[in-house]
Every structure is written in C-alpha cells, then in structure tokens.
Structure 1
C-alpha cells in the first residue's frame, strides 16, 4: 500500500487501491530508509474474529459516505471516490512526526474479521485503540454495504478523519496490495542534515 508524505508540504496521500501511480514509487527513493531498515517494514495480517463484536457496538450510519460528506461532516482535504462511491485514496495532513510513529508502532495492519455475518478485512490507519473508539462512526461507501470507513469526527469542527477501511471487496482492495509497505517520505528533516 502506497502512503506518501511530503514533509515540506505537510501533506500525505494513502492509495487504498492499486493504481498506475503506485508503480512509480519505490522504497529506495524514500527518506523512510533514513529512519528504518527497509527490510523490516511490514503491514501485518492478523485474524481477530472478536473485532466484529467491537464494530457492532459502534454507530453505523444509514447514510453512505458520499451522502454524508459536506452535510454531516467535512473532509480535512479530499478523499477520492470512484463512480460507485468506493474510496480510492485519502488526502490528509501528514508530517514525518506523525508518519514515523505510525510506522514504528505498526499502526497499519490488516485484520481478518467476521462482522454482520460476513467475512471482512479491516485496514487500520492509526493505533487500533483510536480506530475502535466507541465515538467513531462507521459509514458504508455504497448502498451494497460491502465496504465501509471508520471516521473520527471532531465534535467542534465536524472535520472527519478516516481511521480504517472495512472491506469485503478483495477485487477492489486486494490483501496483497494492502500488505505491501510502500511508505514514501519526501523532504525529511534528516535528508537536509545529510547535505
């Protein structure tokens, strides 16, 4: 999974689906190697059937993500959806100070779960305790309810942050792609120290 972070611009992008853009990047070109051994980077896959029970206790919106955005909540920047409403990517505020601890603590994980009498995969984009916060809300991406996002919505600003993707669509969100750690850090503070 490609996650880009330009430290100068303090912006990042998470490519949830494989695309032509993901082929252009390699770990060797990333400043992430200044902090971590590239061979040690991973996105673990864990079977956790009990997570479904936790998700069942969270609020599930009747509105799809597309119906709710700019009505119930606002995006930090913009999250790209395909024509059907499936999320292709997430644009977010991201600096090396945010990205590096997430990588170090393996916040990015893929869980195999059972929820709503179906098998799903959950891709966490933050520490799982923050992802599974009971105040977060689950939004279906489409009326088919085969893919969802977990949102943390700031009560004051109504700005939502995507905390996780829940997917039953391996054709759109292939597990092999989600487990490939392609963390591309540009303009790291350490890269300037080397010059």
Structure 2
C-alpha cells in the first residue's frame, strides 16, 4: 500500500486502491530508509473476530459518505471516490514526525473480523485507541454497505479524519496490496541535514 508524505508541504496521500501510477514509486527513492530499515517495515495481518464488537459500539450512519460530505462533516482536504462512491485515496495533513510515529508504532494494520454477520477486513490508519473511539462514526461508501470508513469528526469544526477502511471487497482493495508497505517520505529533515553537512545544499 502506497502512503506518501512530503515533509516540506506537510501533506500526505494514502492510495487505498492499486493503480498504474504507483509503479513509479519504489522504496529506494524514499527517505524512510534514513530512519528505519526498510526490510523491517510491514503491515501486519491479524485475525480478530471480536473486533466486530468494537465496531458495533460506534454509530453507523444511514447516509453514505458521499451523501454526507459537506453536510454532516467536511473533509480535511480531499478524498477521491470512484463513480460508484468507493474511496480510492485519502489526502491528509501529514508531517514527517506524524508519519514516522505511525510507521514506528505500526498504526497501519489489517485485521480480519466478523461484523454484521459478514467477513470484513479492517485497515487501520491511526493508533488503535483513536480508531476505535466510541465517538467515531462509521459511514458506508455505497448503498451496498460492503465498504465503510470510520470517521473522527471534530465537534467544533466538523472536519473529519478517516481513521480506518472496513471492506468486504477484496477485488477493490486487494489484501496483498494492503499488506505491502510502500512508505514514501520526501524532503525529510534528516535528508536536508545530511546534505548540509556534505555541502550539497
């Protein structure tokens, strides 16, 4: 799964679906290797059926994400949907420190669980206790209710942050893709510090 972070812009993008443009990204072009051994990076897959109980404790919205955006909540930046309403990618505020912390703590995990009498994969995009906060709201992406997102919504600004993807559509969100970490860090502080010490900036 490709997750980019441009520290200079303090922006990131999470590619939830594979696409042809991802092929241009490789870990040898990422500055994540200045901080971590890239061979040790992983997105664990964990079977946890009782996680469905945590999901059931959250409010499930009746409207789809597309129907509710800019009404019940606002986007932090922009999240790309396909024609049917399935989420392709997430644009978010992301600094180097935030990104490195998420990677170090393995916030990105893939869980297999049972929920609503169905098998789902839950991809977490933040710390576990923040993802499964009872105040978060689950929104279906389409009327089929086969893919959902968990939103944390700031009560004062109504700005939402996507905390997790809940999917039964392995065709749209392939397990092998979600489990393959491609953490692309650009313009990191260490990159600039090392180049300054070499007189390259």
Answer yes or no: same fold by TM over 0.5.
Answer: yes
How far has the Cα of 1:194 moved from its partner? 1.2
Looking at structure 1, the residues matched to 181 and 137 of structure 2 have their Cα atoms a distance apart, in angstroms, of 27
1:70-81 map, 5 Å? 70-81=70-81
Structure 1 runs of 4+ with >2 Å offset:
none
How far has the Cα of 1:22 moved from its partner? 1.1
2:53 counterpart of 1:58: no
2:142 counterpart of 1:142: yes
Q: What value does the CA root-mean-square deviation take over the aligned residues?
A: 0.4
Looking at structure 2, the residues matched to 189 and 128 of structure 1 have their Cα atoms a distance apart, in angstroms, of 27
How far has the Cα of 1:51 moved from its partner? 0.4
Looking at structure 2, the residues matched to 174 and 22 of structure 1 have their Cα atoms a distance apart, in angstroms, of 14
Looking at structure 2, the residues matched to 56 and 23 of structure 1 have their Cα atoms a distance apart, in angstroms, of 37
SS at match of 1:8: coil
Matching residue of 2:69:
69
TM-score normalised by structure 2 residue count: 0.96
Looking at structure 2, the residues matched to 22 and 161 of structure 1 have their Cα atoms a distance apart, in angstroms, of 23
2:161 counterpart of 1:161: yes
Q: Which runs of 5+ in 2 are unaligned?
A: 196-201
Matching residue of 2:84:
84
- If you compute each CA radius of gyration, which structure gives the higher value, 1 or 2? 2
How far has the Cα of 1:184 moved from its partner? 0.0
Matching residue of 1:14:
14
Number of residue-to-residue matches in the alignment: 195
TM-score normalised by structure 1 residue count: 0.99
2:116 counterpart of 1:123: no
How far has the Cα of 1:21 moved from its partner? 1.6
